Amino acid sequence: MIRTRAVSRSSPETTKLTFEDYLQTSDDERYELLDGALTTMPAPSIAHQHVAMKLGTRLDSFVEEANLGVVFSAPTDVVLTQTDVVQPDLMFISSERAGIVTTANIQGAPDLIVEIRSDSTAERDETLKRQLYEECSVQEYWLVDPEARTITVLLLGEDGYAEAATYTEGHTLTSPMLEGFAANLDEIFPIRP
C-alpha cells in the first residue's frame, strides 16, 4: 500500500516528480525518487558489494529456512509514496505482509531495510532515508558501514527510531525482529588488504 505523507522535506516552490515520472526513467541507470527529486545512484564499491552478498546470503538463508517471508536485494523498487521510490540494498518482507509484493515492485514499507554506506549515499542513508523509513513505518533499519566495519540496528518505537545496538568486528549481529538470526561480522566484512 502506498502511503501519503503530510510532511514535505522540500520547499513549496520545488516541482515534485511522481511515481509515474519515475517509471519513465532509463533502465540503464539506477535511480531513487526522494520527496519528488530524482537521484541517480552510482555503481557500488567492491567492499559494498561484498558486504551485500555476504549479509544478504545469511539473511535470505535464515528467512527461507524459518519460512518467515522473503528477502530482496537492490535493484528492487520500493514504492513508499507517490513521490518516494527507493532501492534499499537489502530488505525483508514478512509472510504476513506478502501482499505488498507485486510482479513489478514492492508497494509499501518492508519490515526491515538494510542500507550499506558508501561515500555517495552516506548522508542520504543517515538522514533523509532514515526519516522517510521512520515516517513510512519500517520497523527495523540497519545502517552498515563497510569502512568502519560496523552495523547499527535501529528499531521503530513510539518516538521514532532508537538504536538497539551497534555491532563491530568480533561481534555477532542479531535482529530484534528476526529472533534467532545471527551473523558474525568477521564473516560479513571483507578481509583487509
Write out the three cell numbers for 148: 568502519
The residue written with cell numbers 538522514 in the block is 127
Contact, 118 vs 111, CB < 8 A? no
What domains are there in the chain, each with its CATH number?
19-188 (3.90.1570.10)
Q: Are 130 and 161 in contact (CB under 8 A)?
A: yes
Nearest to 148 by CA among 179, 189, 115: 189
Name the DSSP class of 129: H
Query: pLDDT in tens for each of the 193 residues of the chain?
Result: 444 444 444 555 677 877 777 677 666 566 667 787 777 766 777 888 899 999 999 999 999 999 999 999 998 999 999 999 999 999 999 999 999 999 999 999 999 999 998 877 778 878 889 999 999 999 999 999 999 999 999 999 999 999 999 999 999 999 999 999 999 999 999 776 5
